[in-house]
Structure formats: C-alpha cells, structure tokens
Chains A and B, each alone.
Chain A
Amino acid sequence: MIYDPSAVAVIVFLAFVGFTVGLSFYLGGKAKSSAGYFAAHGQIPWFINGVAFAGDYLSAASFLGICGMIAAYGYDGFLYSIGYLAGWVVALFVIAEPMKRLGKFTFADALDAQFDSPGIKAAAGISTLVVSVFYLIPQMVGAGVLIQPLLGFEHWHGVVLVGVAVITIVVTAGMVSTTWVQFLKGSLLVVFSAVLVVLVLNQGLREGNDAFETRGPYPADQWPVMTEVDGRETLPEEDGWKASDQWVRLASPTNGFDLFRVYRSEDQVWLFQAQSIRETDLGVLIDGAPLGREADEKSLKPGGSIWKLPGEQTETGPLGPVDYLATLQQSEVMLWKKASVMHDNGDESTVYYPQPTPGSKVLRPGEHPRFAGIRGDSWVGRINFLSLMLALFCGTASLPHILIRYYTVKDGAAARKSTIVGIASIGFFYVLTLYLGLGAMTSGTLDVTNNNMAAPLLARGMSPLLFAIISAIAFTTVLGTVSGLILASSGAVAHDLMGGALGLHFSEAVQVRVAKWAAVVVGLIAIVLGILFQDLNVSYLVGWAFSIAASANLPALVMLLFWRGTTAKGIIASVIVGMVSSLGWILLSADTFEKVYGLDPASSPVPFSQPGIVTIPLALLTLVLVSWWSRSKPAGPEPAGA
C-alpha cells in the first residue's frame, strides 16, 4: 500500500514527545538520589502506578501485533491476549507484595534479600539485561517500521527519534518521568482503543468490498476452458501464470492485468480479484503495472471484508458486542492469503488473494500456522501450544521492567492496589483487541502485506483525526515500553552488576550518574540493534523474552517465597540454567532456523520451538537439587525462610 503520512499525526506525536520530555526536565530534580532515580522515592500514587503498569506492559507487540494477528487469522491472536493477562494473576496473587517487601530498586534485590550474595546479583543482573534486550529489539524495530507509513520518515529516523527521546526521559528523571510517560500512554491507549471499538460496533458488518471485483458464479463444468470472461479477454497462461485452475488474468484497460483467484464452491466457480507484487530490476510491478498513482500505474488496495452475512441481509447496522460476534460466527469472511508464482527469468511474484472462510473458523483457535498443530495429529504441535501458554502465564510476573514498578509505591497495599488497577486496564484493553482485530478484518482497511498496521488503518477508515491520534499513540506505545526497559537495564548495570556483583561502592550521586550513563549506553545499543535488525521479522522476540524470563526468573522467585530450603547457590544455578537452557533451546529451534538463519527448519535438533514446558521445570529442579546439595555441605549458607 502507498501511505499518506498525516501532518496531524506528526503534530500529535511531537506534542506528546515534547510534553513528556518537558515533564522529564521539570521532574528532573526528583531523581538526584538512588531512591528517586530507581524508584521515584516510592511516592507514586497507586492508581497512577496501576495505569503505568498498563503503559509499561502494553507494548507494540500487544497493540499492533495482537490486533494484526486477529485481523489476519482471527481468534488465535486473542490467545495471546488471554495468556498475557493470565500472567498478571500470578503477579497479583503470588509476586506483588513479596516483591515490594523484599526488594528495594531491582528484581535482583528481592532475590538476594536474605543472602547478600554477589553471585545472585550477577545472575539476576545478567538475566535482566538479556530479557530486556530481547524485549527492546522488537520495540525499536517496531518504531522504525511504524514511522515510515505513519509519519513519513525513514526507518532509522524512527529508531533514532525513539532512542533519543527515551534516553532523555530516563536520564532526566529516571523512574519519575518514566512513570508519567507510561501513565499518559496507558490512559491514551485504553481510552482511544475503546473509542475505536465503539465506532466499529456502531458501523456493524457489511457485505462486500467495493475496491475488488467478484465475478461469477460460472458452471464448474465450463472451467477451465474459457478464453474470455464476461466479454473480457483472458491473458495466455505463460511466464509462471500457468495454473489456470488457480489464477486467471484479464487484460487491463490501462496497463498490466487484473488478476483473479479461481474459487470453487460445490458445482460453481467464482473469480475473486487478487493482487500481485513482482520485484524486477527496473522496479516494483503491481499486477504487471509500475507501482504508483498515475493513470497507467497501480498500487495495492486495502482488503478485508464480509463475503456473506447470515440470512438475506447485506448490512447489519449498529451491533452490540455480543451480537457482533454472534453475527460474525454465522457469516463468511474474506481472509487474505499469500501465494507465490515463479517467473521464467527467476523473478518471483507474491500474490495476495481473498479466501472465503466461515466465521465459525475465524472465531476458533488453530487457524494461524503457529497454532495449527493443535488440530493436527502430531503431539509436537500440542506440546508447543502448551509450552507457549505456560510461558505467557509465567513470563509476566518475571519481566524485570514490570517488577521494578513495585518499588515506586509506598507499601505492599499500594503494590496490590496498583496491580488490581493494572489488571483492570490491561484486561479491558485485551477485550478490545478482539473487536479491533475483527473490525480490521472486515472493514476493507487491511494492508494485505503487513497486518501490523491493522489497528491504525482501521482508525483511518473511520476518521482522519482518529487515525492521526491512534498513529501517534501507536508510536508513543514504543516510548512507554522502551523507557521502562532502559530503566530496568540501567538498574541492572549500576545497582546489580557494578554495585552488587563487583562490590564497587558508590556514593548516591555517583551511583545515579553511573546508572544514567548505563541508560545512555543501553539506549545507544538499542538504537544500533533497531537499525541492524530492521529487515528481520522480530515480533516473535517478545515471545522469546517471555520464555527466558519465565525460565530464568520465576522458579527462583517462587521457590524463594515458598520453600524454606532455598539457598543462594540454588538460586544462582536456577537463574543461570533457566536462562541458558531457554536461550539455547530458542536458538536451536525450528522457528529460529527458518526465520533467522534461513536454514531448513527440519534440521533443528530440538523437537518443538517453545522451550517453557521443559526449561521452567528444569530451572525448578536445578534449584531444588543444588539447594539440597549446598545445604548438605558444612559451610553451606543459611536457609532462606519464606
């Protein structure tokens, strides 16, 4: 698709950045001590902190990734919403208050509260850095991917802009300004997503998409012998376009051709207009014509529509939230699929075509390739699914940038209340994701090449102003999450690794200065990684971060709280084994072989891609065995006590 950058979006976004950076400088005086920089003096009101949880947690992966996945495949994206929220139940009932009680500035503080072990600080600090970097890369790449269509700048402009803004926010006032940025972003995201959902429901469901032609039905026994369709000449089956039972090209009155997908339904044949992109040495061709907006040029059109509504109706009018889903359940939806056609000279055309799909299939799990295994015969697909859902359940309560937010409130009660506010806002948002995704799937606004843009483009279909606001919010989504990650990383470097593991004793002022420099360095690394990884599909790195966090951090944290036999050596071993095994498993998985190394996924040595179901119990077992072993030694450390 060709995007028109919105001047209003640029203004709204720059106003937001200007406001937050200005606020950071204004609040800068409050971050001169370690307690101010790392934990906002524990003075953040619980409600603000709760909404900031949502701002911290609802990353670009949540807003853009989940909505996009639902728009393209249906219910499967919603599985992430369910899993991500379930993790907050672990955070509230198991982790929140002990984290607040045991720790001071970082996650490592809580793990090390009863041991004072440099080893624990080192292991937890490194695990914080690893998880945060895996989480940072997709956020930074996301900033670059978003900025081009939304604001009209180059990829690296987006990465640098986010990097510089976030470094400024974190360095000026640490946790104080980070909290306020996340509060603003969390509120805006939830409120405007709700506005968008109200508009989607008010619009209801409507058959057809005026941008694409549908031809037929033709009797199936006449196919594929037709040489013309409705008086229009069909082009010869040549140069790769040979599968006449799949594709038909009609001569275009302007330039190139009009491409159609052959769809068979019982004894009828339908032709649905498709779109093809071919990259040649001379430039990009869309359906055989140069890419552009002139009369003899073509560009990709937005897709997504209802093929058939239940009964005789062609339009429903406004629908309630339950009726919307019930109507969709009985409809047929046009889902856009992808295929490729190889040409004689070695060029490849990517073809996007609509595929009528029953609503009952769209609203059930197992349509996305990642989840299709649950409907297959093999156990591997089911174990992969269980492993992913386990990692989502256990991952949230072990993400360092989320955990440090427990230190910004005054006591355990405030930690509990802010988690409840966080659960309510995040849960409400995740309910909205299903409607945003399904709205994008059926409103004729979907970029068929990039479903990450589903939510902003849905807004564009409603109103240009809403598009500008949602685009700016999508971009600031990255700001809120990245600032939390950089703050967590700077705490890990200055407080856990340099102060704790290496035993360097800094004065308050020096520790804050070291942390600020660490934030600058991590921020610069994030900028470089965001530019280096720009061509890689990195959205699944968030899933990696969850698996690593769940394996490295959660077993140690839970056992520390609930098993009196836990020792320092047990915790160190558990964090290291959990981190190394999950990271190693991921790097050797079929997913990584295919998407990162470009190797044959069948050559992967691990049986399934999601490590959690193996590595979380492994870390737990390691903790128990090493704790027993170290306690049996005469010089072993004291038991932890819960």
Chain B
Amino acid sequence: MPDPANTSPATAERRGARLGMILFLLYTACYLGFVLINAFSPESMDRIVMAGLNLAIVYGFGLILLAILLAFVYGFSRRREGTAESTGSQKGGQP
C-alpha cells in the first residue's frame, strides 16, 4: 500500500493508475453484463423495470450515464495531480 502522506508525482500517478484500473474493471463488468444478457437472455431486456421503462432502456442509459459518472469521479479524485504532473519529468518526447 502506498503511504498516504507520500504525495510525490510518481506515487500519485501510481495511485491514479490503480484507481483508473478499478473503475475500468467496474465499468467493464457492467458492460459485459449488458452484452451477455442481450446475447443469451434477450427476453429479459423486455421486462419493465422502472417508470414504465424496460431493462434495455434502463441498462443502456445506465451504461452511458455510468461512463460519464466514472469519468467525473476519476477526474475529481485526481484533480490535484495536474500541477505536479505538468512540472514533473515527462518520459518520451514531449513536443
């Protein structure tokens, strides 16, 4: 586990990458669920689940909104890294 007090750019970047991976896996699991239900139990998508809307609409909209939500969560939790990163060393050839 990284030391929370250690806020060096490299540590922050590692922590950010790990958060990114967790959010990625979370979204991927939801997307996989959507695709598998469509492929193997398409009739489940016809079921009305809330406010007169069927699972296809609720799950589909849910995936789009989840992507936007996770993107903001990721951006918000890494908002302090920008300054450190822009002044930190850059690997590869920056223009």
Contact = CB atoms under 8 A, between A and B. Distances in A.
Interface of A: 35, 38-39, 41-42, 75, 78-79, 81-82, 85-86, 88-90, 92-94, 97, 101-105, 109-110, 113, 322-323, 325-327, 329-330, 360, 363-366, 374-375, 382, 385-386, 389-390, 393, 407, 410-414, 416-417, 419-420, 423-424, 427-428, 430-431
Contact of A325 (B46, B53, B74): B53
A113 B46 CA distance: 49
A325 B57 contact: yes
Nearest to A110: B92
Contact of A94 (B24, B46, B57, B95): B24
Contacts of A413: 78, 81-82, 85-86
Pick the 7 closest A-B CB pairs, nearest first: A326-B52, A413-B82, A93-B24, A35-B95, A104-B93, A93-B20, A411-B86
Interface string B84-95: 011000111111
Contacts of B20: 92-94
Interface in B11-57: 13, 16-17, 20-21, 23-24, 27-28, 31, 34-35, 38-40, 42, 45-46, 48, 51-54, 56-57
A420 B71 contact: yes
B65 interface: yes
A347 B85 CA distance: 69
B24 A417 contact: no
21 contacts: A35-B95, A79-B38, A89-B28, A89-B70, A101-B92, A104-B95, A109-B92, A329-B48, A329-B57, A330-B52, A360-B54, A366-B38, A382-B39, A389-B35, A407-B95, A413-B78, A413-B86, A416-B74, A417-B75, A427-B65, A427-B68
B60 A78 contact: yes
Contacts of B31: 86, 89, 393
Nearest to B80: A413
Contacts of A322: 51-53
B14 to A, nearest CB: 11
B81 to A, nearest CB: 6
A325 B40 CA distance: 25
A101 B91 contact: yes
Contact of B71 (A326, A329, A414, A423): A423
B56 to A, nearest CB: 5
A85 B64 contact: yes
A82 B71 contact: no
A101 B64 contact: no
Given A326-B53, A411-B94, 6 more contacts: A89-B28, A104-B92, A364-B56, A366-B38, A386-B39, A427-B64
Nearest to B86: A411
Given A424-B68, A427-B64, A382 B40 contact: yes
Given A366-B42, A420-B71, A42 B95 contact: yes
B10 interface: no
Interface residues of B, number: 48
A86 B26 CA distance: 12
B39 A329 contact: no
A71 to B, nearest CB: 17
A29 B72 CA distance: 36
Contact of A412 (B42, B63, B85): B85
A327 B72 CA distance: 32
Interface of B: 13, 16-17, 20-21, 23-24, 27-28, 31, 34-35, 38-40, 42, 45-46, 48, 51-54, 56-57, 60-61, 63-65, 67-68, 70-72, 74-75, 78, 81-82, 85-86, 90-95
B76 to A, nearest CB: 9
Nearest to A429: B64
B67 A86 contact: yes
Contacts of B90: 101, 411
Contacts of B24: 89-90, 93-94
A307 B48 CA distance: 22
Contact of B34 (A42, A82, A93): A82
B38 A374 contact: yes
Residue of B27, B46, B91, B95 with highest tally of chain A CB at under 10 A: B95
A86 B78 CA distance: 21
Given A92-B74, A366-B42, A386-B35, A410 B57 contact: no
Contacts of A393: 31
Given A86-B31, A325-B53, A39 B95 contact: yes
A545 B80 CA distance: 37
Residue of A327, A366, A412 with highest tally of chain B CB at under 10 A: A412
A38 B95 CA distance: 9
A393 B23 CA distance: 15
Contacts of B28: 89
A329 B75 contact: no
Contact of B52 (A90, A329, A412): A329
A41 B95 CA distance: 6
Residue of B64, B75, B85 with highest tally of chain A CB at under 10 A: B64
Given A325-B57, A329-B54, A86 B63 contact: yes
Given A86-B31, A101-B91, A416-B78, A365 B64 contact: no
Given A82-B60, A326-B53, A363-B56, A410 B86 contact: yes
Contacts of B78: 413, 416
A256 B74 CA distance: 64
Given A93-B21, A413-B85, A423-B67, A365 B72 contact: no
Contacts of B68: 423-424, 427-428
B63 A82 contact: yes
Nearest to B63: A82
Contacts of B17: 97
B45 A82 contact: no
A331 B91 CA distance: 58
A411 B81 CA distance: 11
Contacts of B39: 374, 382, 385-386
A364 B57 CA distance: 8
A410 B86 CA distance: 7
Nearest to A41: B95
B82 A88 contact: no
A81 to B, nearest CB: 7
A364 B54 contact: yes
A113 B92 contact: yes
